[in-house]
Structure 1
């Protein structure tokens, strides 16, 4: 996008007016360092992908004292490490290491499926690789205690009712006054964190240049672009430290490796609390430092810590009892954020949104159907949250014509292009969820819109809802990012300012290494792919599907994103 200000204005209007008022791996095996500057803990999840070992790694990398007071956890960098179960213990001995930057409002847990699938695909091709899913530093603020309990009611009680879990009480969702240290978490600190992590874990620069592939999803492609062009020792003449010399190649997942936000139209809504960058770099920075401007990106619907936590809680229910009737909508406490989000996501039309009737509490849904309603591309109206996990089942379905009417979106953007659907019988049948691999079966009702358009078909369903649920509920690092640094976006929007331009020290770094670009066929770049990219296109995929798709697709073929990543890892070119 030219700027985030160019997004659809339909997000505004009466709907939101109502809302606003109402030791290193090369030297030793994992965990062997004795100075406590690094920890590595095995992660056990119920994934169907065999032969992959996962651990969560934390490396101490303190911010400077000038950053100000912050939780001790925020002086550590974290990532999820995936490797072949029979592969080498030391990362330096792997054939290749893929290092992935997350997208906007996204955490390391979102990479779970693509990481496992890629490691497994490489093993089938005879290579032992690793996949590192990075967490941004600001994810240190998230508390997974309630989610880790594995019980929905326990999680709700912990986060919203002040009840203890394992003798721990939730400290609450952090307000702007507690986020002063985030005022400087922009693009410079983000790429510095990646460099410090790589040099700590893989001290040999020649090895990094030979074995590391740098990339990311969505905004992670832009972060990778800045990493590739960065200079890390303050001397542009010495290039061993240059970002492009830490990588053997680049990979981009529904994004491009660049230093521009132009390709990310629809990645976040316009009505967040993002400050007007027309103020200029110095004024914006002063506002962040003083707290006059919000240090964390949020919006009144879904995009704030209180409501984003609901995605993981819904995942817990879908794992815990997928086919059982959900009571989550009725168990949640009342509150403006939750009520507004429920109305926005589960209103058939504007009248239902304004009155709250019928609302989500009036419908009978299984736990899987609740998760599907929150994240499927035929339900959730926010394109950057969409995955293709199947469709509603069990009762009559209607068009969801809020916040935009079906058939009105011809190009990808904030709301995506797929027709939206919603259960049509409040206090009626129990609505269940038809998983991605059962769409198109003989017993599929083949639901259609009022204009006769099929809501979906087998070719557009690619993600297993149970894998998505596990990624949300079982990972030690969040799928979502509750506290996204405002400065990271304002820096990128102010790319022409001297303070940001100076970070692009080696512009040729963008083309210094081979690049694999894999795009979602129905994702943010659909219909407007730059002609010089020559990308791999995953047909039927939405923006999140490039991370969440199942290892075996509806046509019986292996998942194409992981297959191409594994092939690229074998021979970047």
Structure 2
């Protein structure tokens, strides 16, 4: 990767303009909220799909407390076929998707495009709305988008870590717990209300919503959809036109279930992050009010605002120069958070972690290999961040027995499966040696790397996502892949939904059963590993693969998740 490009403000503005086209303010009908839709350029090879970011002004209630102005807007990525109707009301179907924990709208890029193209092949034009939750308003994607426009990841690092402005703007820093105080009021009720308000603002005709809209989500998004289906939005449960289930004609679950409650969620969010849940709703409210409970889900390393942003920067580097030598681990200034994250993710065993040597900086990686090391299911230890994107190549690779030895992980204990996934972990083992590259998902046949038990670490049947697709999803969208400030209140509300005042709006107990559901499961996914009749299963898929899998799989197989979703939407 070369030295940072020094661009004038005018040149940088032109470069950014090639990524996000000038916004159009749509005149609002009488009484309709203010709305802005901005076309988004993409390097996706699927060129039949148009993408735009839509922002609708729907303010929080005054009781939420002081917050940035941007947080009185709701946003989503709108994907549609280029030959289809320009207005959403003209689409045959609209899929409205809630993201999972720590996940943003950009994560849906792959499945949205694949589904839209497949539906068009069936003679139907569908749209896919990938929602951003209210808390995503706190993110500053300026550095990543500027680095993408200039094709220089150093520009992003300079912005976030070296106090260097982009277009006259300086990064204000990662928000502290005190700065996001208002998030303590953004829980389950506000989240489902936001979805309802956005859907009714964008498609005011209730009959059209009932006929055209399909509601669903990925991971936690399935649980949020379950509550949405049961929610009463006018406060009068005897009237049902406003009920969540009457806003949708069907439900779709992406490696999740449309249900209420938290079965399997411990595989996504360690309960230790919010131990006060065990003391009840009043204790949680008091903890959020005082700040003793973090208002945004956070841990000292791996799961926090800074590390979520690191994934976007790694995706940016792999997007613009996949074969170039990665220098992010040295160019990003050292700090407790980043250094601890590197040690947790790139230690071969406990002894390596404790002594801190060899370090990740002692290895040579291409940008693609660095991203793969962060998120591939043979490397990333947390199952809810895993995708099947290929494997290392170019030097010796051995078993990664940290944080849990592969022998123990292979025992198949449910708690380990939910937390760590299903695959043996691997790690490069030649510090100060060769440059490790990355073999893409469709180029792993014949790799010589084997675990200590003699079995190959991977095979074509276990790889489903192109590393380029993952890099694009992480770095190309104005609404990004990750959610840097996930409101803790959402998880605590779901865990304590039976307590008075938490989920009082979920009164329509048959709301989930009121519409047909398609369950689209990752064959090697997390938590929801109880196969049920009618499930569509992606063989070899990990938790994120249901969103990112390539349209043509190894062996020429079609991508089963989007094909099945398109058929469900258009039948």
Distance 2:302 2:291 in 1: 23
Contact 2:210 2:246 in 1 (8 A): yes
* Equivalent position SS for 1:178: coil
Q: Distance between the aligned counterparts of 2:563 and 2:261, measured in 1?
A: 28
Residue 44 of structure 2 is aligned to residue 47 of structure 1? yes
Shift in CA distance, 469/264, structure 1 to aligned 2, threshold 3 Å: same
Show the counterpart of 2:250: 249
What is the aligned partner in structure 2 of residue 285 from structure 1? 285
Q: Can you list the C-alpha shifts for 1:481-526, whole angstroms capped at 9, x where unaligned?
A: 1000000000011122122352221010010000000000000146
Does the alignment pair 1:139 with 2:136? yes
Match of 1:70 among 67, 73, 76: 67
1-structure distance, mates of 2:420, 2:332? 26
Contact persistence 2:255–2:528 (CA under 8 A): no
- Once the two structures are superposed, residues 420-472 of structure 1 have per-residue CA deviations (whole angstroms, 9 ceiling, x without a partner) of 001110010110000001111xxx33310011121010001000000110111
Q: Is the 8 A contact 2:264 2:418 kept in 1?
A: no
Q: Which residue does 2:27 correspond to in 1? A: 33
The answer to whether the 8 A contact 1:326-1:365 is kept is yes
1:414 aligns to 2:408 (yes or no): no
8 Å Cα contact 2:188-2:503 kept in structure 1: no
Q: Report matched runs for 1:71-470 at 5 Å.
A: 71-149=68-146, 150=148, 151-272=152-273, 274-409=274-409, 410=412, 411=414, 412-440=417-445, 444-470=446-472
Q: Match for 2:478 among 476, 479, 484?
A: 476
Q: CA deviation at 1:154?
A: 1.1
* CA distance, structure 2, for counterparts of residue 213 and residue 382 of structure 1: 30
TM-score, L = length of structure 2: 0.92
The 1:34–1:495 alpha-carbon spacing in structure 2 relative to 1, beyond 3 Å, is closer
Q: Following TM superposition, by how much is the alpha carbon of 1:388 offset from its aligned partner in structure 2, in angstroms?
A: 0.2
Partner of 2:56: 59
Note if contact 1:52-1:120 (Cα within 8 Å) is conserved in structure 2.
yes
8 Å CA contact retained: 1:256, 1:263:
no
Q: Distance in 2 between matches of 1:458 and 1:276?
A: 44
Instruction: Tell whether the 8 Å contact from 1:183 to 1:487 is kept in structure 2 after alignment.
Output: yes
1:34 CA displacement: 5.3
Structure 2 counterpart SS, 1:408: helix
Q: Decide whether aligned partners of structure 1 residues 319 and 215 sit closer, same or farther in structure 2, where only a CA change above 3 A counts.
A: same
Shift of 1:291: 2.1
Count of matched residue pairs: 537
Contact 2:399 2:451 in 1 (8 A): yes
Residue ranges of structure 2 left out of the alignment (5+ in a row): 1-22
Q: Distance in 1 between matches of 2:562 and 2:480?
A: 21
Question: Normalised by the size of structure 1, how large is the TM-score?
Answer: 0.92
Alpha-carbon distance, 1:31 to partner: 4.3
Q: Is the 8 A contact 2:193 2:233 kept in 1?
A: yes
For residues 61 and 269 of structure 1, the distance between their equivalents in structure 2, rounded to whole angstroms, comes to 32
Q: Is the 8 A contact 2:107 2:473 kept in 1?
A: yes
Counterparts of 1:459 and 1:30, CA distance in 2:
45
Contact 2:521 2:535 in 1 (8 A): yes
- Distance of 1:179 and 1:118 partners within structure 2: 36
Q: For 1:265 and 1:70, locate their aligned partners in 2 and report how far apart those are by CA, in whole Å.
A: 30
- Encode CA deviations 1:161-192: one digit per residue, 9 max, x unaligned: 21111110001000000111111111100000
Contact 1:30–1:89, Cα closer than 8 Å, also in 2: no
Q: Is the 8 A contact 1:518 1:538 kept in 2?
A: yes
In structure 2, C-alpha distance between the alignment counterparts of 1:44 and 1:137, rounded to whole Å: 24
Alignment of 1:420-569 (within 5 A): 420-440=425-445, 444-525=446-527, 527-529=529-531, 531=532, 534-569=534-569
Q: What is the rounded CA distance, in whole Å, between the counterparts of 1:258 and 1:155 in structure 2? A: 39
CA contact (8 A) 1:37 1:60 kept: yes
Provide the residue aligned with 2:11 in structure 1. none
- Structure 1 segments, 4+ long, off by >4 Å, are none
Asked if 2 retains the 8 angstrom alpha-carbon contact of 1:183 and 1:289, the reply is: yes
**How many angstroms does 1:287 deviate by?**
2.0
Q: Which residue of 2 aligns with 1:12?
A: none
Distance 1:567 1:263 in 2: 28
> Contact 1:67–1:184 (CA<8 Å) still a contact in 2?
yes
Contact 1:49-1:116 within 8 A present in 2 as well: yes
Distance 2:347 2:287 in 1: 37
212-221 vs 353-362, which deviates more? Answer: 353-362
Deviation at 1:283, TM superposition (A): 2.3
Following superposition, the deviation at residue 30 of structure 1 comes to 7.2
Aligned to 1:22: none
CA drift at 1:265: 3.8
Aligned residue number for residue 17 of structure 1? none
| Higher deviation after alignment, 133-142 or 152-161 | 152-161
How far residue 285 of structure 1 moved from its aligned partner, in angstroms, is 1.1
Q: Is the 8 A contact 1:399 1:422 kept in 2?
A: yes
- Quick one: distance in 2 between partners of 1:449 and 1:304? 32
8 Å CA contact 1:53–1:82 kept in 2: the answer is yes
**Equivalent residues of 2:256, 2:528 under 8 A apart:** no
CA distance in 1, matches of 2:339, 2:261: 36
Contact 1:113 1:549 (8 Å CA) reproduced: yes
